Structure 1
Amino acid sequence: MESVGRWVTVSLCLLGCVAGIMAGTESDATVCSQLTNTSCEQCLKNVKCLWCSTDNECMVYPLKKLLPPASICKLSSARWGVCWVNFEALIIAMSVVGGIIILSICICCYCCCCRKKKKSRSAALDNEKALRQQEERKVRQEERRVQMKTRHDEIRKKYGLFKEDNPYSKFEA
């Protein structure tokens, strides 16, 4: 976990340094060349300089190239931004981190889409289930209503309160 934090720090540092390196001048070349045969730390204090550890040379970072060409310095011995990370390791680390980020985004999108489909399917099933339950409740309620009516009619007959249909009742129009 500590190494991941270092790589993140290095990548942020390098991204910040890219902004500063874009405005290079000829005086930067002389400043960087004066730091040849000193130390990596001295050279890299100026963000526009590149340190080549094979020949202890400090030079201006080549602006027209994204990575320094092998004719200037091999990637395994080129240092920029910090002395403890070479370009080869930086490229590998940035590729891995970028791949993980892209993979994470793809997985998140896939999971969100699947969850949305599941929700729509489950919502339809829930609606169907709710309608079925409501229909069952209505049927049970009607059965109970009929049972209660028959029970009440039986009680009325028992006590003589049952109103039978009177053929001589008042005619309603």
Structure 2
Amino acid sequence: MDSRILLPALLLVVGLATVLAQTTSAPEPACETKNGTSCELCLKNVKCLWCIKTKACVTYPVKTILPPHALCPLNEARWGLCWMNFQTLIITLAVLGGVIIIAFLICLFCCCKCENFGSRRFDAKMERQANKTRTKQEERKAEMNQRHDEIRKKYGLSGQNPYSKFA
């Protein structure tokens, strides 16, 4: 078969198999059915929250972002990982976020400062080149005037130009 037809057909079959596998899989049991088990069993389901103090597996309260203290204190709550409590997770994420923001601001400041410095350096270089060109042009103009004066002297045309009164 042609590879232009085979590849899309294969992707279609794999995509359909994935969709059907997701729709036909059995729904996860409710988190509350895992009360009194272990943290690992509870946290196999992403929707569950484990409270060490009460050894309860509860559905994570998504409407309140952080679990309320009445449900489980933050230092006793586990979600995702059994060895990291919510307090540590929040502090770690806040510190990482702060470090990323500070690093971004420092990079932004350094780039702008370096860009301005490079721009000044470039402007100075262009000005030096312009001055050098202007100096060379003035030297050539002086040499040309000197040659013209020598030619005028040679042919006796060093007097006043008779046409200067019309200018």
Both proteins in one fold, TM over 0.5:
yes
| Structure 2 runs not aligned, ≥5 long | 1-26, 158-167
**1:107 CA displacement:** 1.4
Match of 1:46 in 2: 45
Cα distance between partner residues in 2 of 1:31 and 1:127 = 73
SS of the aligned residue for 1:58 comes to: strand
Write out per-residue CA displacement over residues 70-111 of structure 1, whole angstroms, 9 at most, x where no aligned residue: 111111110011111110010011001111111121112212
**1:165 CA displacement:** 4.8
Match of 2:57 in 1: 58
- CA 1:143–1:40: 2 relative to 1, 3 Å: same
* Pairing of 1:5-154 with structure 2 (within 5 A): 31-138=30-137
Q: How many pairs does the alignment contain?
A: 127
Cα distance between partner residues in 2 of 1:60 and 1:166 = 111
Match of 1:161 in 2: none
Percent of pairs identical after alignment?
Answer: 38
Cα distance between partner residues in 2 of 1:103 and 1:131 = 42
**1:142 CA displacement:** 7.0
* Pairing of 1:151-166 with structure 2 (within 5 A): 165=155
| Structure 1 runs not aligned, ≥5 long | 1-26, 154-163, 168-173
**1:137 CA displacement:** 3.8
Cα distance between partner residues in 2 of 1:97 and 1:50 = 23
- CA 1:131–1:166: 2 relative to 1, 3 Å: closer
CA RMSD, aligned part only? 2.9
Cα distance between partner residues in 1 of 2:43 and 2:107 = 39
TM-score normalized by the length of structure 1: 0.62
TM-score normalized by the length of structure 2: 0.64
SS of the aligned residue for 1:84 comes to: coil
- CA 1:99–1:166: 2 relative to 1, 3 Å: closer
- CA 1:41–1:166: 2 relative to 1, 3 Å: closer
Letter in 2 for 1:65: T
Letter in 2 for 1:46: N
Structure with larger RCO (C-alpha < 8 A, sep 6+): 1
